[in-house]
Amino acid sequence: MTTFSQFLAGGPGWHVRDIVCTAGPADATYEEQHAQCCIAIVRSGSFRYRSTQGSAVLAPGSLLLGNRGACFECGHEHAAGDRCLSFQFEPAWLEGIAEAVPGVRKAGFARAHLPPLPALAGLVAAAEIAAGEPEGLEEIALRLAGAVASLLSDEERRVETPSARDQRRITRALRHIEAHCEEPLSLDTLAGQAAMSPYHFLRTFRALVGMTPHQYVLRTRLHRAALLLRRTDQPVAGIAFDCGFGDLSTFNRRFRRVMGASPSEYRSA
């Protein structure tokens, strides 16, 4: 066996896996079939990819694209091994994205890949970072699917001002996050409460707030934790759990990244 797969995160209609392949020039290629629609970010290594949409040599930063049911082959004739972050989507899930992206006429991919485009560099980096913090992968999956759909549409994305109705919905979401930031708040849950599709909710939220829902939830939790550290004698671990962090190490790492000091250092400063 030359391929090893680790499940990272998933939800209704999507999931993400870290896939490592150790195949080399001596290994024969064989035909496979995409079980779902696929957008895979090449993290390291290189390989030849051939599918019904075409063929290409993929290197780090490239995106492998596959439609559900499409046959494909991956070959390593010139060098061994690669690693990919594979986002798998049900077609109906992608259709919801296509409906929300200006200029997109249909779901699915007409090409086999996208090269390491500057327009995708920030998103690819964010996906790699989120692979180590899987709770952020839901938003990355939506953003990645929307970005790829938009790039393949060959039309410029229109900048649209959110409607008054959508502004009211996002305001309600902000108030809900403020009141319940310590609770599990998935993107799907927040979008459902706002009566919006997840992708439309994410796009509208970013346009109005300037950050994603996940970033805002994290910011709200860290802000609350900072106030408790300064105003109370409650143990750091207790503050972490009360503010919605699942474990102390995650809280310490994120607090230091944002605040520039560990929780204990921040409290004693």
**Residues 56-92 pLDDT 10s:** 888 888 899 999 999 999 988 877 889 999 999 999 8
Shortest CA distance to 44 belongs to which of 2, 80, 3, 10? Answer: 80
Report in angstroms the alpha-carbon separations of 154 from 95, 105, 148, 247: 18, 11, 11, 44
- ∠ Cα 198 215 229 (to 5°): 140
**Residue ranges of the chain that CATH labels 1.10.10.60:** 164-269
pLDDT for position 157: 44
pLDDT for position 163: 85
pLDDT for position 105: 66
The residue among 234 and 100 whose pLDDT is bigger is: 234
pLDDT for position 7: 96
pLDDT for position 154: 58
Please state the rounded mean pLDDT for residues 218-226: 89
pLDDT for position 243: 93
May I ask the CATH architecture of the domain 164-269?
A: Orthogonal Bundle (1.10)
Residues 145, 148, 152, 155, CA torsion sign: positive
The residue among 60 and 233 whose pLDDT is bigger is: 233
Please state the rounded mean pLDDT for residues 157-185: 81
DSSP 8-state assignment for residue 186: -
The structure tokens 């064989």 sit at 30
Please state the rounded mean pLDDT for residues 212-226: 89
Query: What amino acid is encoded at 39 in this protein?
Result: I
Residues 70, 7, 84, 256, CA torsion sign: positive
pLDDT for position 1: 52
**Residue ranges of the chain that CATH labels 2.60.120.10:** 3-152
Banded model confidence at residue 260, pLDDT cuts 50, 70, 90 = confident
May I ask the CATH architecture of the domain 3-152?
A: Sandwich (2.60)
pLDDT higher than 50, residue 198? yes
Banded model confidence at residue 159, pLDDT cuts 50, 70, 90 = very low
pLDDT higher than 50, residue 158? no
Residue 242, number of CB atoms within 10 A of its CB: 14
Q: Which strands form 71-75's sheet, in the order they lie side by side?
A: 32-33, 71-75, 47-51, 54-58
Percent of the residues in the chain that have a pLDDT greater than 70, as a whole number: 96
pLDDT higher than 80, residue 252? yes
pLDDT for position 126: 86
